[in-house]
A and B are shown apart, each in its own frame.
Chain A
Amino acid sequence: MSAIRKNTWFMACLYVLVFFLLAEWLTPVMTLTSTGHKTLFLVFIVLGLLMALFKVPWIISGPVKLLYILWFIVHVYTDSFFFSKDAMVFVWADLQVNMEALFSQNWAQTTDIFRTVLFFALLWMAVYLIHYWVSFRLSIFLFYFLTVLFIAVLDTFSPYTGNTAIIRIMVIGLLLAGLLHLARWTERHHIELSGDKIAASVIPLFLAIAGTTAVALYLPKSGPVWPDPVPYITSFSNQAGSGTGGNSVGRIGYGVDDSQLGGSFIGDSSPVFTAEVDDGQYWKVESKDIYTSKGWELTENVGEVAVYENGEFIKTDFIPGESEEEDNALISMDQDFPFVLYPYGTESILMDAAPNYQYDAADQRIETFQQGNVFEPQVYEISYSEPTFSLTALRATAPEKLAELPAAFDRFLQLPDELPQRVRDLALEITSTSTTVYDKTRAVERYFSNGSFEYSQQDIPVPEDGQDYVDQFLFETQRGYCDNFSTSMVVLLRSLDIPARWVKGFNEGELLETEGTRDIYQITNNNAHSWVEAYMPGVGWMLFEPTIGFTGSSEVEFDVEVDASDPVEREQPERPNPIEEEDDSTAGAGEEANGPDFWDRASDIWDENKAKILWALGGLLVLAGILYKIRQKWLPKVLIPYYRNRGESASTFEKAYLRLLKQLELYGIKRREGQTLKSYASYIDSFFGTSDMTRLTRAYEQAVYGGNPESVDWNELKESWENLINRTSG
């Protein structure tokens, strides 16, 4: 063991860092399990690490730790600070209870004290393991990696927020890794550093880490690339919801009154309808336009009301996409609604009862009437074609055009006077770098996936008097469900003068089965949802989905790129010619008929997948390059079985020995040109602390220089050879 491990200051430094790392484990566990007395547990860790640092023999450290655990139990469970007779009696009685429970395998009967002891045992073990890693292996990577994983998982799947913890862990981990690397390095090269030297080599590490951390903290952070997985996952188990509002805990499902949003939800998986479609759709019911700072209301009697016949083209705010892409949806209702649930791009509706459809431009609701009476349809078919939006047009949505919109759009710009200024400021901040209306809207939509928002249906507050629903969500709770997200987006957009409205309906639902190209979805109350429609000047209304974990979106056609540059596309017209020529030549030569077909197909495949093939080839090359570069790591795993199973012939040993020389060279210990095998071998052995290389070399010299290959017993030398080969992969 070299001096660096004996340097108490250095080791103390390591142990302090380890303590902080262990504390990062302890904190979430204690928070999540509502365990108290964190300090006392931390003291236990400190105790363990201190004794490990000063190499207290186990015969002392063991009893000390046991005594501490006992004291903890007495102190925490009997409230007496010192051991008293009563306390001991209590502990003894508890011990008996637990023993009984254990022996009768009655796990539930074990008491809290028993669990505390188990927890202590766990900590004890953890401290011991880390002590082993740091003092003997001089390596912390595995533990560090596990810590990061642990915090990341907890942060994602539990209420624990690891935002600052992960930074602390990063810093501690880098420091530990740096210090341990230094320790390993000095040991490997048998360098003994004085205390000053160690300090001198450690200070740059500290400075580098402090510098990078400071810069990293200062730099702006981009939002997560993918949505928070938890709501995403739970959305598939039909936990999504939209509000009835009013009560603090509501039942999920479609409701009419949205004037008071907020409050928690409990799930309701009673079916609403089944839809047979090609692809899952968002089913719109209606939209609302007045935001009251508590919820949504509707301006009455503003728009025209149009009446349509069965199968007649219904004009909505969404122009259906191209007709060849027309789809139809078969809806069969389980609950009775006097209106139609319609997908985006709806063209016409067919029902057996042939009612009248009344489309109200105010809330875009399609109500069904039969002879003037409200009619609740059971089964109907909707022809629709998903609207597509041209990216070129969307890129031309200059904010100046907003000012030219007619007065009819004013109701989609309404905001309550008491809306806090910080909401408006936030909207400006989010969209500060966006130039078009579409970009701004997308920026607001994406803002909710920046990682600070959390999807939840539990413990969502109802705004107090004088409190704004959106303001509360954006700045205080940052937790909520679709209503919070969609309402906030509408308000943010409106503060930017972008017309927007709040839409209610249902999301795709749960895929029950697939028949050919047709998917059958079951939509339950859990699928009640709300989202956003915003008006893009020059383009029209578009759907936006701000709620994290939901996948609704408008179909945007990337028509910009085609005009700009697409070499593959442009080459296409020229392509038929060479193929024709080839056809002619092969036909003339009278070769096999398969020939041209095959080359045809091959060249087609090549043309279509040129980029993919090149990428794949490139990837393979890179992979091969990497494999070659790191061959020192994996080659031994191949070589050992190969040479182990080779025959007993004299040349096997010689080949194996030469392979070992190469492997050692890859490992980084190169034999100098004029260095003899013997002196190289003694260097290798002093490096690894073995005598194997000398042993092998002696045998090899006898075989090669002595011209006596038969003298070598490969079986006897195998072990030494494998030992060395294995070391080279380290």
Chain B
Amino acid sequence: MDAKDRLNAVIDNIEKVIIGKRNIAELSIVAMLSHGHVLLEDVPGVGKTMLVRALAKSVGADFKRIQFTPDLLPSDVIGVSIYNPKDMEFHFRPGPIMGNIVLADEINRTSPKTQSSLLEAMEEASVTIDGVTMTIPKPFFVMATQNPIEYEGTYPLPEAQLDRFLLKVKMGYPSSKEEVEVLSRSQLSVPIDELEAVISLEELLQLQEEAKKIKVEDSIKSYIVDLSRQTRIDPYVYLGVSPRGSIALMKASQAYAMLKGRNYVTPDDVQYLAKSVFGHRIMLRSEARYDGITAEEITDRILAKTRVPVQRLVGQ
């Protein structure tokens, strides 16, 4: 089985429990393959948890879940050293972050301090407690959910933190037909328990390595850079996409190309992922809000006007 078939097997597996959200499943896998993390922004009850659990089950990964509340402390996330009077030593009790796939539920409900402890762990893939650095087992994939920030009692994530998520994805409600199907399936049993792993963790690590080798032609790279630069000069944009954003777009495109069974990135891959990669990285001016312009619309506009490379770059 080549990479495409294996990955599609994972997606098919997820689809057994999540109905009609194939694109979300795809994006999650893309993020996982490129060592990134996903920020799911949506209201409760649309299947966010189910998606992450299904994904974890499909790859045979260790699944952890952290429910963020306003009184949650950093140690509740990364773990704590407890003194054991028996051997008179501190023993480290790992927090829920020490898993392969972590669901960070309602991340914007907790204090910035706790948020940043999670985000640091995400970026470094390790935690440091009492001067001891502990590596989080690989693969490590965080899927954080956040309620839309208009809701009360939330702490919006700072810009720098948002940048650490590879993709921001909106789940959306299922269509009425899909929802009926959801109802009928849930009548029988809890389907998630029946899911079995279709690839192993080792295979997943191997795929992650393969994704890095997917070819990105120079013209595509410069296309990605063009797109990022366009966000920085847009009159509605206060803060555009950083070079880290460009890297994120490239890596995500590589993973997506692999998912589609290609060993090279095309402009279509870039265009498909641009909205998810750029959406949370573009900070809008207040004029944009008055005019009702969203970051997605700005990305669309930039995609429409930026020249797609159709030839190899000459002289570089």
The residues of A with any CB-CB pair to B shorter than 8 Å are 654, 658, 661, 672-679, 701-702, 704-708
Residue numbers in B under 8 Å from A661 (CB-CB): 310
> Given that A674-B303, A676-B271 are known contacts, is A705 also in contact with B265, CB under 8 Å in the complex?
yes
* Least CB distance, B301 to chain A, in whole angstroms: 9
Q: CB < 8 Å: which of B262, B268, B305, B312 contacts A676?
A: B268
* Least CB distance, A703 to chain B, in whole angstroms: 9
Contact B215 A676 (CB under 8 A): no
Q: How far is the CA of A285 from the CA of B136 in the complex (A)?
A: 127
Does B308 sit within 8 A of A, measured CB to CB? yes
Contact B312 A677 (CB under 8 A): no
The interface size of chain B toward A, counting residues with CB under 8 Å, comes to 21
Q: How far is the CA of A705 from the CA of B263 in the complex (A)?
A: 10
Nearest A residue to B220 by beta-carbon distance? A705
Q: What is the total of A-B residue contacts with beta carbons within 8 Å?
A: 56
Residue numbers in B under 8 Å from A704 (CB-CB): 217, 219, 310-312
* Least CB distance, B240 to chain A, in whole angstroms: 18
> Could you say which of A654, A673, A676 has the most chain B C-beta atoms within 10 Å of its C-beta?
A676
Q: How far is the CA of A672 from the CA of B267 in the complex (A)?
A: 14
Q: List 28 A-B contacts (CB under 8 A).
A: A661-B310, A673-B304, A673-B306, A673-B307, A674-B304, A674-B307, A676-B266, A676-B267, A676-B268, A677-B267, A677-B308, A677-B310, A678-B268, A679-B268, A701-B264, A702-B264, A704-B311, A705-B217, A705-B219, A705-B220, A705-B265, A705-B267, A706-B263, A706-B264, A707-B215, A707-B217, A707-B312, A708-B264
Contact with A along B217-252 (1 / 0, CB 8 A): 101100000000000000000000000000000000
Q: How far is the CA of A708 from the CA of B217 in the complex (A)?
A: 11
* Least CB distance, B4 to chain A, in whole angstroms: 15
Q: CB < 8 Å: which of A658, A673, A678, A708 contacts B266?
A: A678
* Least CB distance, A670 to chain B, in whole angstroms: 13
Q: How far is the CA of A675 from the CA of B271 in the complex (A)?
A: 9
> Given that A704-B310, A705-B217 are known contacts, is A674 also in contact with B266, CB under 8 Å in the complex?
no
Contact with A along B97-118 (1 / 0, CB 8 A): 0000000000000000000000
Q: CB < 8 Å: which of A672, A702, A706, A708 contacts B304?
A: A672
Q: How far is the CA of A705 from the CA of B221 in the complex (A)?
A: 10
Q: CB < 8 Å: which of A675, A677, A706 contacts B262?
A: A706
Q: How far is the CA of A705 from the CA of B313 in the complex (A)?
A: 10
Residue numbers in B under 8 Å from A707 (CB-CB): 215, 217, 264, 312
* Least CB distance, A247 to chain B, in whole angstroms: 87
Contact A673 B308 (CB under 8 A): yes
* Least CB distance, B254 to chain A, in whole angstroms: 12
Nearest B residue to A704 by beta-carbon distance? B312
Nearest B residue to A672 by beta-carbon distance? B304
Residue numbers in A under 8 Å from B306 (CB-CB): 673-674
Q: How far is the CA of A683 from the CA of B262 in the complex (A)?
A: 22
Residue numbers in A under 8 Å from B304 (CB-CB): 672-674
> Could you say which of B217, B262, B264, B305 has the most chain A C-beta atoms within 10 Å of its C-beta?
B264
Contact B305 A673 (CB under 8 A): yes
Q: How far is the CA of A677 from the CA of B268 in the complex (A)?
A: 8
Q: How far is the CA of A607 from the CA of B266 in the complex (A)?
A: 63
Q: How far is the CA of A672 from the CA of B262 in the complex (A)?
A: 25
Residues facing A in B268-316 (CB within 8 A) are 268, 271, 303-308, 310-312
Residue numbers in A under 8 Å from B307 (CB-CB): 673-674
Contact with A along B161-190 (1 / 0, CB 8 A): 000000000000000000000000000000
Contact B264 A705 (CB under 8 A): yes
Q: How far is the CA of A488 from the CA of B312 in the complex (A)?
A: 82
Contact B266 A701 (CB under 8 A): yes
Q: How far is the CA of A46 from the CA of B215 in the complex (A)?
A: 67
> Given that A706-B215, A707-B215, A707-B217 are known contacts, is A675 also in contact with B308, CB under 8 Å in the complex?
yes
Residue numbers in A under 8 Å from B305 (CB-CB): 673-674
Nearest A residue to B307 by beta-carbon distance? A673
Residue numbers in B under 8 Å from A675 (CB-CB): 308
Nearest A residue to B302 by beta-carbon distance? A674
